[in-house]
Amino acid sequence: MPDDVLGQFAPPQEEKEVDTAKKLKFAIIGTGWIAESYIQSIKLMPDIDVVAVADLIPGKAEKFLKRFDAEGPRIYPDHKSLIDNEELDAVCVCTYNTQHAPVAVYALDKGVNVILEKPMTVTVEEAAEVLKAEKRSGKVLSIGFQPRMDENMRQIKRIVESGELGKIYYIQTGGGRRRGIPNSTFIEKKTAGIGAIGDIGCYALDVVLNAIGYPKPLTASGHTSAFFGANPKYNGKDAARFDVDDFACGFVRLEGDIILDFRISWAMNMDTSGDTLILGTEAGLRIPSTECWNGEAGGPLKIYKEVAGRQVEFEIPMFPSGDSFGGLFYKKIRSFADAVKDGGESPVPASQIFYNQAIIDGIVKSAALGREIEIALPEI
Ligand SMILES: NC(=O)c1ccc[n+]([C@@H]2O[C@H](COP(=O)([O-])OP(=O)(O)OC[C@H]3O[C@@H](n4cnc5c(N)ncnc54)[C@H](O)[C@@H]3O)[C@@H](O)[C@H]2O)c1
């Protein structure tokens, strides 16, 4: 992983002292790219031991442990054998997307707390199964949205909650890479299920939906395409196996008369798909274009409003980047571990991310049908 990513494992300066009297036993399921952030972060937590890891690919978990100088954990060939044979406080589900639901449900049903990587699942039906398992188990389930730990991202929610914007009625969100198609397991339906919409779209949705309190989604009119990923001109050899979306957009109605206008891309012939805008009756908020997975905004947040008949705009001072980048992955796992230890609330509740998944699913289903659909939320 590059240095700017590795830097995010560093514990934050203001970290409180942890109680090491009780050690938590964690396991990591799936030892790919994101699992690296887990093992690196957990190594910095004196009250957590990684006691086991699993991966479907023979030899992969062994190499992973060696790379991180962590040769103590037991190794299993899949999630079931690991969960069945270990006494665990929690599992970190770091598998590709199509395995999120089966692994999370299995762990919860065995009474194990779960931190589940994003996107929560592939479909809303799977997300409902995970939520039901959480309910049955009474365990902590948190979804791996590290931007939630970032002070500049949190500031967006604080601004909305302050009432400064008035009633929110329109949101434009999304983001986009001009060229930035990942490879590995991200580009095939059998492993990823969905493409850019799930990979980075889920973050763009979370930033704004979390800010406005996650209203229920009602309808979606969506489009998905793959003009770049499936074209050898742009994606070389990987084009042959590319069968997910590389661009998606949608027009979504939310409860409370709020319109969500969304677009996301891994590749397009444009530099940016625009800033994130939150329009309210008293003021508007501009969040300069960002992919936001690392908490980074493209510049200071800006508020636009009318004062005594004059149009004014001002910037919200940014939190220092040391703080904003200081250990987002670390904080994501620490906040989950604290909830497990203290019986606290999930830091990123699945009940919220269920709506995030419902929007993604609504856009995908609407795109397949070529028309607007009502978002049908499965009963929990
Ligand atoms: N939060 C973030 O910033 C971030 C960044 C990258 C990836 N992710 C998410 O993390 C997940 C994994 O991404 P990745 O890049 O590490 O993928 P990856 O393909 O590199 O690794 C996933 C691993 O899981 C293993 N696996 C799958 N099902 C399994 C099972 N049932 N039991 C044991 N092992 C299993 C696979 O063999 C593979 O080695 C994805 O859902 C992705 O969206 C999150």
CATH of residue 367: 3.30.360.10
Q: Residues 166, 239: one domain?
A: yes
Q: Residues 222, 125: one domain?
A: no
Please list the residues that pair with 262 across neighbouring strands.
Answer: 173, 250
Chain segment 85-111, per-residue pLDDT in tens: 999 999 999 999 999 999 999 999 999
Q: What is the average pLDDT value for the chain, to the nearest integer?
A: 94
Q: Residues 155, 283: one domain?
A: yes
| Any domain includes 184 | yes
pLDDT band (50, 70, 90) for residue 145 = very high
| Any domain includes 19 | yes
Looking at the predicted structure, is the pLDDT value of residue 4 above 60? no
CA of 326 to the centre of ligand 1 (A): 23
Report pLDDT for 23.
Answer: 94
Task: Check if 188 has its Cβ closer than 6 Å to any atom of ligand 1.
Answer: no
Site of tokens 């779960």: 114
Nearest CA to ligand 1 atom 37: 56
Q: Residues 82, 221: one domain?
A: no
Task: Check if 332 has its Cβ closer than 6 Å to any atom of ligand 1.
Answer: no
Angle between helices 350-369 and 201-211 (to 10 degrees): 120
Measured from the Cα of 184, ligand 1's closest atom is 19
pLDDT band (50, 70, 90) for residue 319 = confident
CB 148 within 8 A of CB 209: no
Q: Residues 307, 213: one domain?
A: yes
Q: Residues 156, 52: one domain?
A: no
Judged by DSSP in three states, 263 sits in strand
Q: Cα–Cα distance between 349 and 347 in angstroms, integer?
A: 6
Q: Residues 247, 282: one domain?
A: yes
| Any domain includes 208 | yes
CB 112 within 8 A of CB 52: no
Judged by DSSP in three states, 221 sits in strand
Other Cβ atoms less than 10 A from the Cβ of 238: the count is: 18
Q: Residues 366, 336: one domain?
A: no
Q: Which of 85, 185, 197, 348 to mutate to test the pocket of ligand 1 (most atoms within 8 A of CB)?
A: 185
Measured CA distances, 39 to 44, 45, 49 (Å): 9, 10, 10
SS3 content of the chain, % helix, strand, coil (to 5): 40, 25, 35
Looking at the predicted structure, is the pLDDT value of residue 251 above 70? yes
pLDDT band (50, 70, 90) for residue 321 = low
Please state the rounded mean pLDDT for residues 260-275.
Answer: 95
Task: Check if 29 has its Cβ closer than 6 Å to any atom of ligand 1.
Answer: yes
| Any domain includes 117 | yes
Which of 6 and 299 is assigned the larger pLDDT? 299
Q: Residues 101, 241: one domain?
A: no
CA of 186 to the centre of ligand 1 (A): 9
- Of all residues in the chain, the percent with pLDDT exceeding 70 is 94
Report pLDDT for 12.
Answer: 58
Please state the rounded mean pLDDT for residues 140-169.
Answer: 96
Could you tell me the CATH number of the domain that includes residue 99? 3.40.50.720
Q: Is the preceding omega at residue 119 within 30 degrees of 0, hence cis?
A: yes
| Any domain includes 338 | yes
| Any domain includes 98 | yes
| Any domain includes 261 | yes
Please state the rounded mean pLDDT for residues 231-256.
Answer: 98
Which of 319 and 17 is assigned the larger pLDDT? 319
Q: Cα–Cα distance between 54 and 115 in angstroms, integer?
A: 15
Looking at the predicted structure, is the pLDDT value of residue 324 above 50? no
Instruction: State how beta strands 90-93 and 24-29 pair.
Output: parallel
Q: Residues 157, 8: one domain?
A: no
Report pLDDT for 17.
Answer: 73
Please report, as a single letter, which amino acid is at residue 251: F
Radius of gyration of the chain (CA): 21
Number of domains comprising the chain: 2
CB 256 within 8 A of CB 142: no
Please state the rounded mean pLDDT for residues 307-316.
Answer: 98
b or e along 51-89 (b: 16 or more beta carbons within 10 Å of the residue's beta carbon)? bbbbbbeeebbeebbeebebeebebbebbbebbeebebb
CB 255 within 8 A of CB 270: no
DSSP letters along 102-170, please? HHHHHHHHTT-EEEEPSSS-SSHHHHHHHHHHHHHHT--EEE--GGGG-HHHHHHHHHHHHTTT-SEEE
pLDDT band (50, 70, 90) for residue 5 = low
Using alpha carbons only, give the angle 175, 363, 198 rounded to the nearest 5 degrees: 50
Domain that holds residue 346: 3-147+327-350
Report pLDDT for 13.
Answer: 56
Q: Residues 361, 252: one domain?
A: yes
SS3 annotation, 176-193: ECCECCCCHHHHCHHHHC
CA of 297 to the centre of ligand 1 (A): 26
Please state the rounded mean pLDDT for residues 325-334.
Answer: 86
| Any domain includes 379 | no
CA of 35 to the centre of ligand 1 (A): 7
Task: Write out the two tokens for 189.
Answer: 């339906």
Q: Residues 249, 306: one domain?
A: yes
Chain segment 8-51, per-residue pLDDT in tens: 555 555 556 778 888 999 999 999 999 999 999 999 999 999 99
Q: Which of 65, 94, 332 to mutate to test the pocket of ligand 1 (most atoms within 8 A of CB)?
A: 94
- Of all residues in the chain, the percent with pLDDT exceeding 90 is 86
